[in-house]
Structure 1
Amino acid sequence: MPYHYDPADNLHGTYMVKTAAIYRMIGHTDFAQQVDEFIRSLCIGLWHSQPITEDQVLAINNIYSKNQKRPTYLYWELVTAASKYTGLKIPDFFRVLVITKRAAEALLVLFRYLLVKLSDPNLSVPSETEFISETTKTLEGIINSEDPLGFSELAVSSPAKKTEQRPEAPADKKEAPKEEQKEEAKPKENLDDLLKELDSLVGLAQIKKDVRSLINLIKVRKLREENGLAVPPLSLHMVFTGNPGTGKTTVARLLSRIYHSIGILSEGTLLEVDRSGLVAGYVGQTALKTKEAVEKAKGGILFVDEAYSLAPEGTGNDFGQEAISIILKSMEDMRNELVVIVAGYPEPMHRFISSNPGLESRFGKYFHFEDYNSAELMQIYKAMCEKNQYQNDEECLKFAEELFKDMYENRDENFGNARDVRNIFERAVANHSNRIAKLECPTREDLMTFRKEDIIGCKEDEAKAE
């Protein structure tokens, strides 16, 4: 009998309590994201030899520590991850924690508890039992090792050993000096292709107009520069405001590629962080963590999601202020190598920017992302179906239109826009799979077609899962 997800088990609550106890033991939460990612990779390893079910998707999306982002695996994403699983990889943080053996042992207990919890309750699946046993044995081996960090694997030359000198080659046969190996520059994408990609996004009419206007501004500025004309100062740092699921990260990623295409950024990459990626739990560590993030983003865009969490109201001495100071300094020192975009809900973002004169002076461009209307939600749903080779019968399409109309008209502060559509699509895939699995000889048409019964109740299922 495969694992069955039961909301009454409160998997997320139990996981939060257990990880919080371990972080208190360590004294900080610097490894929280890595712990969550490692545990989710263990779950994928546990399930990789068997068919993935909707219960496993629900389970893995509930494994995240306090203040960490909730994962958003879709059914086929988990299937793909399981199919690509290549074996256990021990992360560096676990080897470091072995130095404080008690914390590593507590983590091992948590790992084993979760693996047993998320496996067949009767332990009748040999691949799961073997995975749990082998994983436990490997991690115990590292905990009990005299060299958990693997220093013995490094080749260390003895200083006493003399190096045998090669005779100098004859003058006519001397080796030519080796040319310095330079990293190949990332090829630039065609601007017209990138703009077509922007135009293909559902909705976002004003954002598309603003992006084109910004590109024109940059182009003309470069032309004036080439013709020896004065160019006024230009800040490319931006504030993105809008509710979740409105396309902020997607547009930011596209902007990084556009800036690279027109020669503004050398790499055209995007590094997405939130408070947990910048702020540490004790003095001095926040500076190191933030500088590391800035350095990684160099040549591209640093995208800070829910940036207002760096300056929570009523906490003047919060470590987030240190992160803000370093980001502001980097924006000045690396003005030709870094673009910073801060993003989040509209009201908190306006409060955040106005709370610091340095922020107000450096962020002059605001892009507001409106909620998708019902027609746009339907467009997003159809695009997901088409991309994944699904189709809807007529009755299903009519029901979906009504569903998205109701979602939009009755939206509240928890409305997730495209994220809600994705969740509904994911549950429709699971319902469709359960229905098709009962057919003796399903046709290609059966395998591709959603019916009303597949999508009905999806919104209620989502609410229950939350």
Structure 2
Amino acid sequence: MQTLTPEELHQQYAQTVAAYGALLPEPALRVAFAHQVDGYFRQYLLALWKAGGESVEQHQVDIYNAVWSRADSAPAALYWEVATGVARAGDFCPPAFFADLRSYDRQHATSLSRRFADQLTLLLLLFASADGGVSEEEAGYVNACSDALLEQCCLDGIRPDSPGVNAGDYVSRRTSGKSAPQAPAAPQKQTREPTQDQTQTQKQPEEEPLPSLDELLSQLDGLCGLDQVKKDVKSLINLVKVRKLRQQADLPVPPMSLHLVFLGNPGTGKTTVARLLAQIYRAVGVLSKGQLVEVDRSGLVAGYVGQTALKTQEAVQKALGGVLFIDEAYALVNQDSANDFGREAIEVLLKNMEDHRDDLIVIVAGYTDLMEKFIHANPGLESRFNKYFYFEDYTAPQLLEIFRSMCTRGGYTLSAEGEGAARKLLDQLYEDRDENFGNARDVRNLFEKAVTRQSDRVALLESPTREQLMELLPQDIDEPEEP
């Protein structure tokens, strides 16, 4: 194949994007496509190069900067940015606007989403051929990306109106002697079914049974403190159960948001409760999987235009069927900058909460005052987050109970004197608490330091007994005095 110059690639890319955009019949579809398409294709370009296993050169940087379709969005990435992007390229994530295309196809019996899958294949092949040819590894990645999109089309009943493009038909060179790094994990299609003998001989890992609702509630009750939170969770479960019963009885069910705001200081059990709540939602039939995906601002926001939507969409995809837990969510709103990328992440989140309202729960968490400002910063947030759980600071006796439980789980025992020393320290910690008070995190630090001191002490014993290996003494718990 002839090597393409960056200018030639830009021209072909821009023409292809413009031609497809002209097919979109609704203004909202055209706007979403126009604002998102370049960012996604630059991300796919990085992943394509990672699949090919080639080292990044200046020619590829020029190609990356040629992927733009609007006059005001030409990138100016430097070599190190592209090289880092290739190294960090992750799994294939369908564009956010692809869900809109499928929705339109379902309503109007069209095939815009399948046409986009074909255009994606052709454009990725264009990128791959820009350096003179398409390798087998690159073709495999292109096909895997296309298959991921077409699988979603099939699930929506969107049938093909023409045969799809097979990237393998365009392979023109092979990697020379060295094995390429594994391509980013786009879903792979199985080319052939395993034989019956193969199926019987393969050892299938046994799946652990999912915990029942009663078991999950027992775990919730076993948490230290959090009395009001426990009541709120159980009230929420009752609300969900009654809604299901009303639906079965053909009674009206008012709209209800199950997204939550967790308010409180660090170390008060917010993540632990969120993880239990994700499984509880699964047990009562609200969610299909019940996993918890935990992120903060850095897990949603990128430093370049167009990349935040990709990063946020990837987090949402991982959380589908479960709970997306956003810690310190107030950091997404920068009051000092109207152009902060955190606002883009919020818009993507709100759209996905609407598109996947039947199988995605979002929980935002952080300090009480800051979270209230965050929720009121966007009308969309106010309408979707109307349930608040307050996590109070642990009391001094509760901190001691948490310390005891850490000892038990870690295989340590507290001597009577050791418990007295821990109680004194935790009482003082609670009395002196300020805005930096870490609750259970501070207890964890105390426990880990005690274990370290105990190890230093026991290591000096010639033949320590089992009891000595387990026992924590006052000198293990107390901070050593400064000389």
* TM-score bucket of the superposed structures, by smaller chain: 0.5 to 0.7
Q: Is 1:445 the counterpart of 2:467 in the alignment? A: yes
From 189, 212, 216, the counterpart of 2:234: 212
Q: Is this contact kept in 1: 2:407–2:413, CA < 8 A?
A: yes
Amino acid at match of 1:433: S
TM-score, length basis structure 2: 0.59
Structure 2 portions without partners, runs of 5+: 1-49, 62-78, 85-134, 142-166, 173-191, 200-205
Amino acid at match of 2:377: S
Amino acid at match of 1:318: D
Partner residue in 1 for 2:251: 229
Distance 1:186 1:293, change over 3 A: farther
Partner residue in 1 for 2:300: 278
The offset of 1:371, in angstroms, is: 0.5
- What do the CA deviations read for 1:293-351 (whole angstroms, capped 9, x no partner)? 11111110011111111112221110110100111111111110100100001110000
The offset of 1:195, in angstroms, is: 0.3
Distance 1:251 1:356 in 2: 26
Distance 1:316 1:202, change over 3 A: same
Q: Is this contact kept in 2: 1:186–1:267, CA < 8 A?
A: no
Distance 1:99 1:212, change over 3 A: farther
From 210, 222, 240, the counterpart of 1:200: 222
Amino acid at match of 2:454: H
Partner residue in 1 for 2:279: 257
Partner residue in 1 for 2:413: 391
Q: Is this contact kept in 2: 1:97–1:103, CA < 8 A?
A: no
Q: Is this contact kept in 1: 2:139–2:171, CA < 8 A?
A: no
Distance 1:299 1:440, change over 3 A: same
Matches within 5 A, 1:244-323: 244-323=266-345
Partner residue in 2 for 1:425: 447
- What do the CA deviations read for 1:400-424 (whole angstroms, capped 9, x no partner)? 1111111011101111100110111
Distance 1:199 1:99, change over 3 A: farther
Partner residue in 2 for 1:35: none
How many residue pairs are counted as aligned between the two chains?
312
Partner residue in 1 for 2:476: 454
TM-score, length basis structure 1: 0.61
Distance 1:368 1:160, change over 3 A: closer
Distance 1:157 1:415 in 2: 59
Distance 1:332 1:152 in 2: 35
Partner residue in 2 for 1:378: 400
Matches within 5 A, 1:69-80: none
Moved over 6 A (4+): 152-161, 175-179
Q: Is this contact kept in 2: 1:395–1:451, CA < 8 A?
A: yes
From 344, 368, 387, the counterpart of 1:365: 387
The offset of 1:160, in angstroms, is: 10
The offset of 1:189, in angstroms, is: 2.5
Q: Is this contact kept in 2: 1:277–1:293, CA < 8 A?
A: yes
- What do the CA deviations read for 1:261-318 (whole angstroms, capped 9, x no partner)? 0110001011111111111111111111111111111110011111111112221110
The offset of 1:153, in angstroms, is: 12
Distance 1:188 1:414, change over 3 A: same
Distance 1:313 1:340 in 2: 22
Distance 1:337 1:187, change over 3 A: farther
**Identity score, percent:** 55
Distance 1:258 1:219 in 2: 12
The offset of 1:186, in angstroms, is: 9.1
Structure 1 portions without partners, runs of 5+: 1-91, 108-148, 162-174, 462-466
Distance 2:404 2:193 in 1: 61
